[in-house]
Amino acid sequence: MEQAKVDKSLIGVGSATLSVWAGEQSGHPYGATQTPIVASAAHAYSDIDQWYEVALGQQPGFIYSRMSNPTVAVLEAKLSVLEQAEAAVAFSSGMGVISSVLYTFLSHGKRVVSTKDSYGGTNKIFEEFLPRMGVDVCLCDTLDHQQIEAQIAQGCDLLYLETPTNPSLKILDIKRLVAAAKKVGALVVADNTFATPINQNPLSLGVDVVVHSATKYLSGHGDVMGGIACGSKVLMEQVRHYREINGAALDPFAAYLIIRGIKTLALRFRQQQASAKAMADFLLTQTLVESVNYPGLEQHPNHLIAKQQMRGFGAIVSFVLKGGMDAVKLLLPKLKYAHCAGNLGAVETIYGPARTTSHVENTLEERQALGISEGLVRISVGIEDTDDLLADLKQALAATATELENK
Ligand code: PLP
């Protein structure tokens, strides 16, 4: 099997067709229709000169799976097409790719500008690890674009965006912030995990590097971890070089599961988004609910930006329950069709408070500083029937309200 190549004939076709066919190859052993799992740490050569040329990248081929692997290469080609990128590099987790991209492009004395609302693990890199390396980190209020622009203008080597944010679902205006970053020559990195390439292609809005936790929607079944970066060949070569040395490469078995998952991405996401909107609308009507976050709601503070830069509003809804953590503890065990777990983007609906999911790495004080309330619950809406999900949430809220009244 040759190194996977981006099939240009697929550009312009619909996202469901792309999810299935992008990056796929023919000519598999035994006429297999599916990408084989090439479980080999190394690839053997009898011709030393050819081996050397492959090792130098002068001929296509594979040497050692920490550098590249045929199954992983198919996944990388698939994501390149979906994200309209020249190249992609896969990692063993979302945090693996985020930390590697940041460590590839940042070093002592550089300055990174980002927002307070990024995923908790990413926030830890900003608060704990990068300052230790001598990187100046500036985290702005996510909803204050003027503040972000002003900080970029004061000096910025890398602008890091996550939009929509986890779990508050705030939206950043990608084009506007890219324009500010380009004025000072900063590289722009965007986490596209929540939007997925079905809803948003940050590279087409001027972003340089897109990162994904493939653990979420891309794989879609909550059974594998992975991460992937997409961008130009030049940038991805640098990221690949870093991965070769830090060793956070993706396993071919995991790559196979992610490839299989992506084939149904567009289909899954369609159903999940439709249910998410219905659940957000329903939550708005509930007296036990203090506030609802969903970019598809007209009253969402960034609804118009979301409408401009996204093709859909996503499948995550979050809400603040009146009564804080005590009420959350009563509500969650009453749900019948949901896991209470620290994951998202799977076929099953998953509920989780920010305290035990996205911001488990943060202390109470840090969460308070980030504006993450203890009653904030994230719903990753699954592919179940919308009516069943609504009925389940309704019964759980009603039973919780009764218990709270009787306390
Ligand atoms: N980015 C976002 C938006 C996330 O929600 C997560 C995890 O929840 C990550 C990155 C990290 O991904 P992983 O858990 O695969 O390391």
Judgement on whether residues 237 and 371 belong to the same structural domain of the protein = no
Dihedral through CA 306, CA 296, CA 284, CA 384, nearest 10? -130
Judgement on whether residues 69 and 204 belong to the same structural domain of the protein = yes
Residue 3 lies in a domain: no
Which amino acids are annotated catalytic?
66, 119, 191, 216
Cα–Cα distance, 86 to 210 (Å, whole number): 12
Residue 109 lies in a domain: yes
Smallest CA separation from ligand 1 atom 4, residue: 119
Calculate what percentage of the chain has a pLDDT beyond 90. 91
Whole-structure pTM value? 0.96
Q: How confident is the model at residue 7 (pLDDT cuts 50, 70, 90)?
A: low
CB 163 within 8 A of CB 172: yes
pLDDT at 1 > cutoff 60: no
Whether 100 lines ligand 1, by a CB cut-off of 6 Å, is no
Whether 302 lines ligand 1, by a CB cut-off of 6 Å, is no
Judgement on whether residues 92 and 229 belong to the same structural domain of the protein = yes
- b/e burial code for range 16-52 (CB count within 10 A of at least 16 → b): bebbbebbbbeeeeeeeeebbbbeeeebeeeeeeebe
Cα–Cα distance, 137 to 69 (Å, whole number): 35
Residue 76 lies in a domain: yes
Residue 111 lies in a domain: yes
Whether 168 lines ligand 1, by a CB cut-off of 6 Å, is no
Interval 358-383: pLDDT, tens:
888 888 888 888 788 999 999 999 99
Single-letter residue type at 44: A
Judgement on whether residues 82 and 227 belong to the same structural domain of the protein = yes
Tally of structural domains, the chain? 2
Residue 2 lies in a domain: no
pLDDT at 5 > cutoff 70: no
Residue 234 lies in a domain: yes
* Per-residue pLDDT, 220: 98
Whether 118 lines ligand 1, by a CB cut-off of 6 Å, is no
Judgement on whether residues 363 and 394 belong to the same structural domain of the protein = yes
Which residues are CB-neighbours of 80 under 8 A, at least 6 positions away?
6, 22, 23, 86, 87, 88, 230
pLDDT at 329 > cutoff 90: yes
Other CB atoms within 10 A of residue 348 CB: 16
CA of 330 to the centre of ligand 1 (A): 27
Interval 37-79: pLDDT, tens:
999 999 999 999 999 999 999 999 999 999 999 999 999 999 9
Judgement on whether residues 223 and 320 belong to the same structural domain of the protein = no
CA of 316 to the centre of ligand 1 (A): 14
Provide mean pLDDT across the span 93-100. 98
Single-letter residue type at 97: V
Q: Which domain does 56 fall in, by range?
A: 8-262
Judgement on whether residues 158 and 212 belong to the same structural domain of the protein = yes
* Per-residue pLDDT, 370: 79
CA of 380 to the centre of ligand 1 (A): 13
Residue 79 lies in a domain: yes
Whether 345 lines ligand 1, by a CB cut-off of 6 Å, is no
Instruction: Kindly state the helix (H) or strand (E) to which residue 271 belongs, with its residue range.
Output: helix 265-284
Judgement on whether residues 157 and 282 belong to the same structural domain of the protein = no
CA of 95 to the centre of ligand 1 (A): 6
* Per-residue pLDDT, 8: 56
Judgement on whether residues 57 and 123 belong to the same structural domain of the protein = yes
Interval 136-175: pLDDT, tens:
999 999 999 999 999 999 999 999 999 999 999 999 999 9
Whether 117 lines ligand 1, by a CB cut-off of 6 Å, is no
Last residue of a domain, one of 229, 245, 262: 262
CA of 266 to the centre of ligand 1 (A): 20
Interval 264-285: pLDDT, tens:
999 999 999 999 999 999 999 9
Judgement on whether residues 40 and 16 belong to the same structural domain of the protein = yes
Whether 95 lines ligand 1, by a CB cut-off of 6 Å, is yes
Smallest CA separation from ligand 1 atom 15, residue: 94
CA of 101 to the centre of ligand 1 (A): 14
Whether 219 lines ligand 1, by a CB cut-off of 6 Å, is no
Last residue of a domain, one of 262, 285, 318: 262
Smallest CA separation from ligand 1 atom 12, residue: 94
pLDDT at 87 > cutoff 60: yes
Judgement on whether residues 111 and 258 belong to the same structural domain of the protein = yes
CATH number of the domain that residue 107 is part of: 3.40.640.10
CATH number of the domain that residue 282 is part of: 3.90.1150.10
pLDDT at 97 > cutoff 50: yes
pLDDT at 321 > cutoff 60: yes
Q: Which of 372, 336, 332, 379 is nearest to 354 (CA)?
A: 372
Nearest atom, ligand 1, residue 97 CA: 16
| 358 burial type by CB count under 10 A (0-12 exposed, 13-18 middle, 19+ buried) | buried
Judgement on whether residues 52 and 195 belong to the same structural domain of the protein = yes
Give, for ligand 1, the residue of 161, 189, 216 to mutate: max count of ligand atoms closer than 8 Å to Cβ. 216
Last residue of a domain, one of 247, 262, 277: 262
Residue 359 lies in a domain: yes
